[in-house]
Amino acid sequence: MMMPEQFFKRLNTHIKKEWRIAFLSAFVIGFFTYLWHLGSFLVNGDSIHNFHTEQNTIHLGRCFLTYTCGISSFYDLPTVNGLLGILYVAFCSVCIAELFQLKKTLSIVLTSGLLITFPSVASTFAYNFTADGYLLAMLFGALAVLLTCRYQFGLFAGAILLCFSYGSYQAYIAFTLMIVVVWLIWQLLFLKTPVRRLLGTIAKLLVMGVLGSLAYLLSLNALLRIQGKKLSSYQGISGGMELSAERIKEAILSCLHYFKHFFFGGLTPSLYTLLNLLLVVLIAYVVLRLLWKNRIFCHIPECVLLLLCFASIPFVTAVFYFISPGVAFHTLMCAGFSMIYLLPILYLEQSEISFKPDVVFSWAAFAVLFLSIYNFILAANINFLYMNRSYEITYGLGLRIANRIEQTETEEPIRQIGIIGEITTEDSGYNLNLPPEMTGAMYPYMVSEQLGMTAFLNDYFGLSLRNAPDDVVIPFVHSEKYRTMDIWPGKNSVMVDGDTLYVKFTDVEW
């Protein structure tokens, strides 16, 4: 039996230098990237409903999120949740460095920097109340692949981890699959591994995926029955897979469209678009150089599998178009795209100083990847800036509404509020296309409709108002009183009827 000091000393001897570099670089870069977030309470439209919540979102298929978020308590704690999220991504960087056997310090630092600053991770921090649980799902996915590839019976531990990754945030299945795809490309193109030697590992990965998926589905259905709940229709979760020819065709076109959109948007000039165009050039150089150098084209099975891997990338990164009909992709779901940036880094590991094109490539790859990380850092902080600005604008709106409520003379106490329409402008939207596209900041108003506005007024102005139900609001909308109301901020845009106060943002028809 060892004392704690002895245990940690022995543990320290087993930690590789590459692991330390991967962990520390991800943690340090992440700390300074999200410093604003760590020290400020930045909120959005979802945050006001999640100041303290058990994150029991089993109706969204996230049956284990309550446990992964429970590590940080169920409060929206910027510093605690944020540091845990950075910690999880730092460990994920260690898994990637170990899986791909990265040795060069520059390669490891670039990999860690890309993972921790990638738009999907930065957007996740905008939802701080659940960020740690989501990013733990990311770590589980990477660790599942590492254990399965590295150890003979690692597939069983991998299946359990995959199950918990699914049950914390299903979108990280794309990240897990992309790790597998890039690992196969690395084995075939970079290491010249014959297909026959990969069959055993491929079989293990398939079994791990099947077992993990079955474990998740069984757990989800069992917990749904125990809690007496049903899956929500949000993002097509309750719809299930449809294998009709029309659905498959629609999913294929959606994957291709989103793949182009993520990297190039509308091809409008920007640093992000330019860097991604250069990334394509770098990857093309890597593929052509290694195909020629390793004579891969002489081996038909390897060529076929390699071609399949590259062809699958647009569909794996957006695999949820096949799984959930009606899914609306946003940046939180795009972690799988980060693995594409790994391909030039893998070549940096074996570029030859004696071959002049490789020297040019090394400098070009370093410049493109360094600037990509820098651009991601800028995008993350601009997103936080918009979140802060959106809160201030919404607070100003809430203050004006609260003042109107106090100044309104009533015969009986106001107990509920009916928000008619939504306060929006042409700038409002779910994503900010900086580019890259970022999720989290609803600008200019972080809330604009009934549920959000009522919660905001109650939480930030000390009111105790209920949401007026539809059977109260609809008759009022058809009344003569409603016709005399102005659009906000008009003088008659606020009106009391009984114990209900109405605020008219836009005209509606019911």
Site of tokens 């990297």: 263
Whole-angstrom distance, CA of residue 401 vs CA of residue 395: 10
Question: Half-sphere exposure of residue 208, counting CA atoms within 13 Å on the CB side?
Answer: 35
Whole-angstrom distance, CA of residue 150 vs CA of residue 21: 21
Site of tokens 């038909």: 300
pTM of the model: 0.94
Looking at residue 36, its amino acid is W
Sign (positive/negative) of CA torsion 342, 344, 347, 351?
A: negative
- Would you state the structure tokens that stand for residue 448, as one six-digit string? 């604009």
Whole-angstrom distance, CA of residue 421 vs CA of residue 399: 19
Give pLDDT, residue 161. Answer: 98
Query: Which stretches of the chain score pLDDT less than 70?
Result: 235-243, 266-267, 325, 424-431
Which residues, other chains included, contact 239 with Cβ-Cβ below 8 Å and sequence gap of 6+?
A: 233, 324, 325, 326
- Would you state the structure tokens that stand for residue 300, as one six-digit string? 């038909």
Reported residue count of the chain is: 510
Give pLDDT, residue 213. Answer: 96
The answer to whether 115 touches 121, Cβ cutoff 8 Å, is yes
CB atoms within 10 A of CB 451: 13
Which residues, other chains included, contact 274 with Cβ-Cβ below 8 Å and sequence gap of 6+?
A: none
> CA-CA-CA-CA torsion for 389, 392, 398, 400, nearest 10 degrees?
-110
3-state secondary structure of 75: strand
Among 419, 431, 444, CA closest to 506: 419
3-state secondary structure of 95: helix
Question: Half-sphere exposure of residue 156, counting CA atoms within 13 Å on the CB side?
Answer: 2
Question: Half-sphere exposure of residue 108, counting CA atoms within 13 Å on the CB side?
Answer: 25
